[in-house]
Structure 1
Amino acid sequence: MNMKEALAAAIKAAAVKAIAAGTIKEGDLPEVLLEVPPQKEFGDFATNFAMQSARGLKCNPRLVAQAVIDNLDCPYVAKAEIAGPGFINFYLKQNWTAELLASIVAAGADYGNLPARGGEKIQLEYVSANPTGPLHVGHGRGAAVGSSLANLLKAAGYDVTREYYINDAGNQINNLAASVNARYLEELGVDVEFPENGYHGYDIVETAKRIVKIYGDKFLHMDEQERLHEFRTIALKEKLAALKEDLEAFNVTFDVWFSEQTLHDADKIKEACELLTERGYMYEKDGALWLKATAYGDDKDRVVIRDNGVPTYLAADIAYHWNKFSRGFDRVINLWGADHHGYIARMKAAVGALGYDPEQLEVLILQMVSLYRNGELVKMSKRTGQSVTLNELIEEVGTDAARFFFAMRSIDSQLDFDLTLATEKSNENPVYYIQYAHARICSIMRQLAEENVVEAAAADYNLLTDATELELIKKLGEYQEMLELAAKERAVHRVAHYVHDLAGLFHSFYNQCRILGVDPEVQQARIKLVQATRHTIKHALNILGVSAPERM
């Protein structure tokens, strides 16, 4: 039990004791919520428990607060004061930070890895871009947030499977084949009309050039449908390989790559439709098959199979989500772009119609990304005149900066990505600022080794009394609770903000407290403190998929 949990339990116990003594009336007691006050003079922790209890206990909040203080039994509390209408501020004894640091040091590099949670298997699907061209910066945000969220959930003790859904069936793949076909014929001097819904990217031209280089005019005199089939296979394989390569360069990997085409090949869409029909959630109208989405709160029913027998995108998505839950996942989390917001209701309706709780499907919406360079909006790639790709972003700012900048804002807000700031080697660049803190600690440890200073097995943490030392220890102590909350809220930006704040407190400590040339016992305590800080910074950066360099 950490300090916050111990204090919360003591507050609840004090209220129960006061009720038993008749000091306050019996009634329902709320959960004890503790916060770190924004100003140090208001103590180490504060709670509005008395104010929250007042209505249920039918008692004045200040009277409840005084009863809690009078009955409080917590060895770490030096004093407690009532503030305002009934807030309670707690001032802890100095030795609590010593015990806190001792527990963090004992955990070592595992500090931040929370106990495994039994019983809930989570499937997290993210990116899932059509394999018809290179990933753009919007996909990059989804990749950074999705993989960071997977890391966060794993650190918080959840059983997580990371999955990419390959849209390798349907019109987009047919359009890919037709686009490559047109560029191939152009390369061989054949005058051809480019498909109306074709892909105009430079990568399509490069694919066609590679086909000509490898195969020459082998496909030129082939039946067009046969040629399109060949190009579909070649282009899909190439695009998927490039996509995987780009994601790996961005520190993004998946446990499962799930092919949409396998659903069609195994007739799973038909099976899903038959199941929904049997359950009374699918019906025929005007020759088409409709999902009764309104039964689960959608604003209208949705077409699943068109009157010409061609499935809609919803059809494959229904079969895919049926497959997900059939694999035993208790919770399915999808990261979608902002343009998919209107799709949530029908997908939740489909999950309900399949016989699962719609709340088992969780959809996180990522807002748009805008790139800025020197204060000017960047609309197009200088190289291609088309959308800026993830690869180009990585080339300009690096994987670490790109991932951190994508993760440091809540997914609910549009992200203005400052390319200029991301490349600066200054304290204004949050990535540089954090990584420099880690590298600085590594430099300290190298200096100590050069001075033949050996880290002791134990140290007296009560010797750490400087304000910067105490603030750093307290911040370290907040890490695991922050991770738990961030995982619960699916908020990876909390990790980014925390590690930036931690780096700032370390830099303040470094500027205030020497490690070399001080009393040996103080030195050993400070060594333990900086090592704990290094482990925590690295753990947080690992969650964000950002490196922790030892030299800069």
Structure 2
Amino acid sequence: MPLGYYSVPVTPAELATLIRSVLLDAVAAGEVDLAADDVPLPRVERPRQREHGDWSTNIAMQLAKKAGTNPRVLADLLAARLDAAEGVTAEIAGPGFLNIRLAASTAAEIARTVVEAGPAYGQNTSEAGHTVNLEFISGNPTGPLHIGHTRWAALGDALARLLRASGADISTEYYINDAGSQMDKFGASVLARAKGEDVPEGGYPGEYVAERAGEVLEQRPDLLELPDDEALAVARDLGYRAQLAAIRRTLDHFGVHFDVWFSEKSLHDGGAVDQAVARLREQGHVFDDNGAVWLRTTDFGDDKDRVLIRANGEPTYFAADAAYYLSKKDRGFPEKIYLLGADHHGYVGRLKAIAACAGDDPSVSIEVLIGQLVNIAGERMGKRRGNAIDMDELIDWLGTDAIRYSLARYPADSPLSLEGEKLREQNLDNPVYYVQYAHARTRNVARNAAQHGVTRDEFDPSMLDHEAEATLSAALGQFPGVVAHAARLREPHRVARYLESLAAAYHTWYQQCRVTPRGDDPIEAVHHSRLWLNDATTQVIANGLDLLGVSAPERM
């Protein structure tokens, strides 16, 4: 087999494709007793110890038994074929690991790939073909968003960005809980404040209610002259609109924008709830008992059957949940992701039961992610505790970048404690500052290079043979795989942690490899080539921060 028969791998994904191609060729040549369908895309990882090579795979150990051979024998066969690829050498380790080394010219070629791809680098097709409705936050329009909503705003928006970058067709949705008794209490609270009175018992006492009352009076100066019932209806309607507008402003400030704002009230007013009950009855899962209408969710793993319509004829919240699920289905979303708060664990089983009762496969059609609580400086926050921090207050205190990065940096299902004042510190112990500083440093290097006449007019990847350059090149190549993996697992924190490791690799490279010559030394080819590597790092950090909704500053 002639040298260069296989294409040169630049990223880990391309290396994995190369290894699979080598395996398939060996199968076609009769050297390996496997069917082509039995050859998966290998998993390629960085070895923990640098001396073991640039990349490693256990594919020979994974397939040897099925192929009826010894893992080291299969690994030896693969190594011989891999050595035919340009810039690639392979060696066998242990019981059958394949350790792979890339020539400097091969590894550093990633810099050209990144720079030429620009903002598109990292985008992939791993989620192509998936059409998803992603619902998150969905706070009641009876008050401002608080710190709990803030966590879901950061995670939900980052997840949407990840899924889009991975090829999925995503629609983000905010479910407005604008039906039920809480809206009446909110309207009564607004009206009371407009009259200069205390809010009624069980109402909403926050200062924002007085602000909403003022806005209502601006629109309806005659509010207090109306009959009580009419005044209450006006206060409820206009107060709701004003509060929803305030929520939208907050989210705009936070960089979160929804494709759809869906009203729960529209389900009731449009007859969707009654229609949902009828449709579920046709599926054979609705029954009547003691004057109420029930959904037999225990058939699908729920701990008890659920009431849809009470004996007095009033629909339950569960009935609205069922109607809402069917609405998403009817609007063309075969897959639905719900991001719910820590107090919604009980919803998982019942939502999946709704999907099953509707004739869908819950393992495909619905996914429920539960987020854990957030506290500030070790103190749990909550409306009932009287210490909940509004999202607007949090943004004013810490800034959007620090909040979004910090909230996206941890798995959603882990309780989170924010050290607010530490997030305000401008030092390298602050993770968001550390990553943003790396981006700003790359831009400063580029500006200095321009002043010294170092350009990207030429690129010789073979010049980038320093160990720090190999490490940085490898880190850049991992980005598309990180994005795809984070999207598949619904875990934006993987992008944040990757960015921190990339920033560390860059800071090390910066200390050891100069882009501009010292003093009056001449500009050499290595300087031009290093500028490519520097600018590739700029691009990847910017792309990664954008996935988290965080800015990439030019200077710090």
TM-score normalized by the length of structure 1: 0.91
- After superposition, the Cα gap between the structure-2 partners of 1:168 and 1:378, relative to the gap in structure 1 and judged at 3 Å, is closer
Shift of 1:50: 2.5
Cross-structure match for 1:386: 387
- One-letter amino acid matched to 2:495: V
Shift of 1:378: 6.6
Contact kept in structure 2, 1:7 and 1:74, CA below 8 Å: no
What pairs up with 1:128-207 in 2 under 5 angstroms? 128-185=138-195, 187=196, 194-195=200-201, 197-207=202-212
SS at match of 1:35: coil
Shift of 1:70: 4.0
Per-residue deviation, residues 471-499 of structure 1 (Å, max 9, x unmatched)? 11111111111111111111111111111
Aligned length: 540
Per-residue deviation, residues 363-419 of structure 1 (Å, max 9, x unmatched)? 1111111111xxx537589xx963111111111110000000000001121111121
| Whole-angstrom distance in 1 between the partners of 2:488 and 2:438 | 28
- One-letter amino acid matched to 2:501: D
SS at match of 2:157: helix
Cross-structure match for 1:301: 305
- After superposition, the Cα gap between the structure-2 partners of 1:483 and 1:214, relative to the gap in structure 1 and judged at 3 Å, is closer
- One-letter amino acid matched to 1:399: T
Contact kept in structure 2, 1:15 and 1:67, CA below 8 Å: no
Question: How many percent identity over aligned positions?
Answer: 42
| Whole-angstrom distance in 2 between the partners of 1:482 and 1:377 | 33
Alignment of 1:526 onto 2:530: yes
Cross-structure match for 1:344: 348
- One-letter amino acid matched to 1:436: Y
What pairs up with 1:317-396 in 2 under 5 angstroms? 317-358=321-362, 359-372=364-377, 377=379, 379=381, 386-396=387-397
- After superposition, the Cα gap between the structure-2 partners of 1:330 and 1:458, relative to the gap in structure 1 and judged at 3 Å, is farther
- After superposition, the Cα gap between the structure-2 partners of 1:512 and 1:318, relative to the gap in structure 1 and judged at 3 Å, is same
| Whole-angstrom distance in 2 between the partners of 1:346 and 1:439 | 48
Cross-structure match for 2:279: 275
| Whole-angstrom distance in 1 between the partners of 2:41 and 2:449 | 47
- After superposition, the Cα gap between the structure-2 partners of 1:306 and 1:454, relative to the gap in structure 1 and judged at 3 Å, is same
| Whole-angstrom distance in 1 between the partners of 2:339 and 2:20 | 39
Cross-structure match for 2:486: 486
- After superposition, the Cα gap between the structure-2 partners of 1:162 and 1:302, relative to the gap in structure 1 and judged at 3 Å, is same
What pairs up with 1:203-352 in 2 under 5 angstroms? 203-208=208-213, 211=216, 218-220=222-224, 222-352=226-356
Shift of 1:534: 0.8
| Whole-angstrom distance in 1 between the partners of 2:370 and 2:84 | 44
Per-residue deviation, residues 89-108 of structure 1 (Å, max 9, x unmatched)? 22222221133322222212
Contact kept in structure 2, 1:14 and 1:67, CA below 8 Å: no
| Whole-angstrom distance in 1 between the partners of 2:43 and 2:129 | 27
Alignment of 1:106 onto 2:119: no
Cross-structure match for 1:542: 546
- After superposition, the Cα gap between the structure-2 partners of 1:19 and 1:112, relative to the gap in structure 1 and judged at 3 Å, is closer
Cross-structure match for 2:407: 406
Picking from 84, 89, 93, the partner of 2:99 is 89
Alignment of 1:421 onto 2:430: no
Cross-structure match for 2:5: none
Contact kept in structure 2, 1:283 and 1:289, CA below 8 Å: yes
Alignment of 1:469 onto 2:469: yes
| Whole-angstrom distance in 2 between the partners of 1:61 and 1:267 | 64
Per-residue deviation, residues 412-442 of structure 1 (Å, max 9, x unmatched)? 2111112122101000011111111111222
Cross-structure match for 1:123: 133
| Whole-angstrom distance in 2 between the partners of 1:70 and 1:448 | 43
Contact kept in structure 2, 1:184 and 1:208, CA below 8 Å: yes
| Whole-angstrom distance in 2 between the partners of 1:480 and 1:30 | 19
| Whole-angstrom distance in 2 between the partners of 1:92 and 1:79 | 7
Structure 1 stretches lacking a partner, 5+ long: none
- One-letter amino acid matched to 1:4: P
| Whole-angstrom distance in 2 between the partners of 1:85 and 1:24 | 18
Contact kept in structure 2, 1:397 and 1:422, CA below 8 Å: yes
SS at match of 1:65: helix
Shift of 1:297: 2.0
Per-residue deviation, residues 309-357 of structure 1 (Å, max 9, x unmatched)? 1111111121112111111123111111121121111112212222332
Per-residue deviation, residues 4-58 of structure 1 (Å, max 9, x unmatched)? 3444345445556666788766585555222111110111111222222243234
- After superposition, the Cα gap between the structure-2 partners of 1:379 and 1:317, relative to the gap in structure 1 and judged at 3 Å, is closer
Cross-structure match for 2:6: none
- After superposition, the Cα gap between the structure-2 partners of 1:442 and 1:124, relative to the gap in structure 1 and judged at 3 Å, is same
SS at match of 2:108: helix
TM-score normalized by the length of structure 2: 0.90
Cross-structure match for 1:431: 432
- After superposition, the Cα gap between the structure-2 partners of 1:507 and 1:307, relative to the gap in structure 1 and judged at 3 Å, is same
- After superposition, the Cα gap between the structure-2 partners of 1:64 and 1:278, relative to the gap in structure 1 and judged at 3 Å, is same
Cross-structure match for 2:460: 460
SS at match of 2:389: coil
Per-residue deviation, residues 481-521 of structure 1 (Å, max 9, x unmatched)? 11111111111111111111111111111111122226332
